[in-house]
């Protein structure tokens, strides 16, 4: 093996180890936040609402909003984006949602969508906003069964529906 090839392999290994080290350091230093989200629409499309509950060291903050004409998936994703906008520094986030669209989008599909330049993907504007707003964070996704008595999911579901109802004409 020639010198340049060995040097290239050492550089790749060094980059990989540094990347892993940085991730581990971030986890130790970063605040750990829990975010619970839900979205709703009355009709698809129709008036919609979203809600997020953020928790840090026992303190909770609930935020919500909505749109006149939207879809359920847009509201599910909007809830995540709006919660992330409140964070003032990089955080490790445990994200809880009942939307497989959002959770699989984040954990499984997003990288491929980016490679394919979002061809045939809906809600590209929101996914691109998510990409930008999520960059400094480590996000761990967790699925919660909807309408199963999960406290935070029930709160988010109720408020998201109320937000959608406010916009019903």
Q: Any idea which residues carry the catalytic annotation?
A: 38-39, 76, 98, 147, 157
DSSP 73: H
Would you say 163 and 64 are in contact if contact means Cβ atoms under 8 Å apart? yes
Would you say 85 and 135 are in contact if contact means Cβ atoms under 8 Å apart? no
In 4-124, beta strands by DSSP E: 31-41, 46-56, 59-70, 91-97
d(CA 138, CA 169): 40
d(CA 124, CA 113): 9
How many C-beta neighbours within 10 Å does residue 94 have? 16
3-state SS class at 98? coil
Structure tokens at 8: 């290239």
d(CA 82, CA 143): 19
């Amino acid at each position: 093996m020639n010198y340049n090839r060995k040097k290239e392999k050492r550089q790749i290994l060094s980059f990989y180890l540094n990347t892993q080290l940085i991730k581990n350091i971030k986890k130790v230093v970063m605040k750990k936040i829990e975010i619970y989200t839900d979205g709703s629409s009355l009709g698809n499309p129709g008036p919609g609402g979203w809600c997020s509950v953020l928790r840090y060291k026992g303190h909770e903050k609930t935020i919500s909003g909505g749109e006149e004409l939207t879809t359920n998936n847009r509201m599910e994703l909007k809830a995540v984006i709006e919660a992330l906008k409140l964070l003032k520094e990089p955080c490790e986030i445990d994200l809880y949602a009942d939307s497989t669209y959002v959770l699989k989008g984040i954990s499984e599909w997003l990288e491929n969508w980016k490679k394919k330049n979002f061809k045939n993907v809906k809600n590209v504007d929101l996914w691109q906003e998510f990409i930008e707003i999520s960059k400094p964070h480590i996000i761990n996704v967790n699925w919660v069964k909807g309408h199963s008595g999960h406290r935070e999911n029930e709160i988010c579901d109720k408020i998201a529906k109320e937000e959608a109802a406010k916009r019903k004409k």
